[in-house]
Structure 1
């Protein structure tokens, strides 16, 4: 597995359309959400500098890498910095 789609996916189909490996598919339990086939995903390493699913995804924290780290973490798309109070 290179990347995975979290439950924050809104089902916009963007990743499905750009995946060069055809690794993205509709979740059989929730057709409004997508998943990435772990054996098909190449991380786009052979074709692109960045994973195409994460490059086009409009939702922060919807795609994670092998370490479960969000590729588009909170604030990365909006530019809004979150402040947490103790």
Structure 2
């Protein structure tokens, strides 16, 4: 399951540097799969979609920091718990019920993102 940042976010910037997958972006910031990952060019996601890893995607939020679900692994393979949630001063980094994944799926995604 990916993590989501709720509208209680105070845009403090504490979480962004903690994410090992560079899945957290500032409000209104375009994002790409290749940002701080091993991905480049046309790639197939673990769930079978073909995407341009270098392509710029529209921001998910224009008001609050946001997490790209396709890049979030809940820090599996890096840490015992999601680092964004552990550093958030207002507890707005919570499990995203719309993106439920098993630990195995999250580890596959981590390997995909980092070329392992």
TM-score of the pair, normalised by structure 2: 0.52
How far apart, in 2, do the equivalents of 1:67 and 1:25 lie?
A: 20
The offset of 1:66, in angstroms, is: 2.8
Say whether residues 1:64 and 2:103 are aligned partners.
Answer: no
How far apart, in 2, do the equivalents of 1:64 and 1:52 lie?
A: 11
The offset of 1:27, in angstroms, is: 2.1
1:1-60 Cα deviation digits (max 9, x unpaired): 510000000001010011110000012122xx2000010001001110010000100003
Number of aligned residues: 65
Q: Which runs of 5+ in 1 are unaligned?
A: 69-86
Higher relative contact order (CA 8 A, sep 6+): 2
- Which has the larger helix fraction? 2
Q: CA RMSD in A?
A: 1.5
**Dislocated runs of 4+, deviation >6 Å:** none
Within 5 Å, give how 1:1-86 maps onto structure 2: 2-28=2-28, 29-30=62-63, 33-60=64-91, 62-67=92-97
TM-score of the pair, normalised by structure 1: 0.69
Q: Which runs of 5+ in 2 are unaligned?
A: 29-61, 99-116
